[in-house]
Structure formats: structure tokens, C-alpha cells
Amino acid sequence: MSIIFSSIKRCFRDKNNILSIIFVALFLPYLFSVMYSSQNEDFEVNMYIESSATSSISKSYVDFIKEFDKNNKNIKINYINKSQSDKSDLIVNIDDENKKISFKANESMNFGTVIIENITEEFFNQISIYEVASKVSTLPQEGENKYVKETSFKSEEPMDYKQYFSVTMLLMTTMTSSIIVFKNTFYLKEAIGRKVLSSSMPVSKLITLELLGSFICIFLQAMIIIVLDIILYDLQINLKNVIPIVVLMATFSLFTVSIGILVSSIVKKKSHGENIVSFITLIIMFSSGQITVDLEMSMESIIFNMNPVKWINEAMFALVEGNINVNISTAILMTLIYTVILGLVSVVFLKKKAVN
């Protein structure tokens, strides 16, 4: 027990590191939620299109817009009459004779306007007939068969980005706590030989007790962050989902500890350890595909599906968002497998140090 308590004391002794981890875990969800929610607000774009009624290009473009509307659930297009064209946020002028297209947007250009411009440019890029003339100084003249559309960008079930990134940043900062584990266990590699000589306790037991003490420290830190997330971001944790969330975080805390001990077992210089832990954390987080919301390839890539962070993050967010159990057993099993593998590798390296 003394080894466990000693490990916990060393962990909480580094107050600055713990406080910085908690601060990052609370600040980043707000920052990321602002970034992503700004791209998912409801936008209305009055788009005025001027072109020839007999032009096959113009007809194809209108069909393209309709098809885009059909395949995109977040966009609704309503046709409005010509008399309202003075309210246009974006004017698109198709010059069939010179094979050019020009835009004019008002000063209050929003994200929806940018989307319309981008898909329009993509359309004319594909048929290779246009040149973009930016910042047109004059409005298009009146002509026949004007198309005026009002486009609304709406999400059927908008994601709560604060809740999502509260979960994601909780996992990232918990994994960053491997730095604490590294600092508090690096001494084992230096002193473990003397401990083995003066004690009958096997190396594996020493490492196990150190692992348990570090686990308790990191798990308590994660629980503190969760409580603060509940207060600041209204993280939806209740009697229905609290037990599986605690189990998931306990499992992930073990995984975090195994990373820290592995680094401490292979790094020769203590000054290099923190950089290696930070690098490993970034690699694992970005390879999980959870930092980028709705990344389509995350469902298809073997790299994503082999990452324990992906499974833990998805399982926890499903619990927080709707009390839904999604692949919890898979998340726990995969995380434990990686934890055991890293733990065994650490034992091998530390045992070699003791023998030498």
C-alpha cells in the first residue's frame, strides 16, 4: 500500500501540470464548439441568377443546383419572384457568349454565400467553360428568365458541439496525463535494480503497484474534469449513463497509465520523455478521427477502427447525447488489449534494466 500512496502523492505534487491539464480540458471544448457551430448555423441566401433562357449551360446549372438541394439534407431551396431580386445576397451572372461567370456578393457575406459560390465554381470547372471575375463593380442588367432562389442551411438534428468536444478533450487531456505517469515512474528505471536487490518483491509487482497508484490519480483527475464539464457545459450525465461512463473512463485511464510507463521504460533521458508523450498523444488523437467532426473516412479506414480513442469517444458521446449504448463492450475490450500489450512491453524493458 505504501507504494500506491507514494505514487498518488507524487502525482498530485505536480499541481501546475494538473491545473494546466484541467484548464485545457475546459477551454478547448468552448473553442472548438465556436469554430464548428459557426459553420452549422442556419443561413439564408437570396441568390439571383441572370442568364439566357435558351442556354443549355444555364439549364444544366439550374439542374445542378436542384440535384445539390436533393442530396443535401441541410439545404432547402425556395424559388422567389423577380421583384425580390433587390434583396439578393449573391448575384450570379452567366455570360454564355463569352463563356464567363461572375459573382457579386453584398457586404454581409455569410457562410451560406460561400457555399453557393464554391459549388457554382465547381460546376463550371467541371465543364471547363468559365473564367471567374471577382468583385464585379456593376450589377447585371435586367433580362429575360431570371432565376432567384432563397437558400436555407438547416440541420435536422444539430450536434451539441460543446458536449461532443467536452468528451473528446476529456480523453485527450486524460491521455496527456501520461506525462505525470512518466515523471513519477521514471525513477523506477534508475532505482529498480537496487530495489530488486534489497527486496524480495518481483519487478512485475512493483510495476503493478505503481500502475495502480498512477491509475487512481489519473482517474480522479478525469472525474474532476467531468464534474466541471457538467457545471460549465451541462454535460448530460445521469443515473442511466453514469456507470458505463465511469467504466469507460476507468478503462481509458489504465490505457493512459500504460503509455506513460512504456515511455519511462524506453526513454534514456528524462528530458525527452515529455516530448515523446506529447507526440504519442497527438498521433493517437488525430489518427482516431475524432478531432474532425463527421469525418466520413473514419468509418472505412482500418487505422481509425483500430484506434481505441475512436471507440471510447463514440461510446461516451452516445451515452451523453442520448443514453444510447453504442459498442461499449468493443471500446472496453480494445482499450484493455492495448493496455495489456503496452504493460507487458514495459515489464520486459524494466526487467532488462534491473538485470543490467
Per-residue pLDDT tens digits for 91-119: 777 777 766 777 776 665 566 667 777 77
- Spatial distance between the Cα atoms of 1 and 3, rounded to a whole number of angstroms: 5
Whether residue 274 has pLDDT greater than 90: no
Domain definitions of the chain by residue range: 2-36+159-355, 43-153
Strand ranges across the sheet with 43-50: 75-79, 147-153, 43-50, 90-95, 100-105, 132-133
Which of 70-79, 116-125, 150-159, 341-350 has the highest mean predicted lDDT (pLDDT)?
A: 341-350
pLDDT at 334: 93
Reduced 3-state DSSP string for 152-211: EECCCCCCCHHHHHHHHHHHHHHHHCHHHHHHHHHHHHHHHHHHHHHCCCCHHHHHHHHH
* Mean pLDDT (the chain, rounded): 74
Cell of 345: 512491453
Least confident of 108-117, 303-312, 323-332: 108-117
- Is the per-residue pLDDT at 241 higher than 70? yes
Q: What is the pLDDT of residue 99?
A: 65
Name the pTM for this structure: 0.64
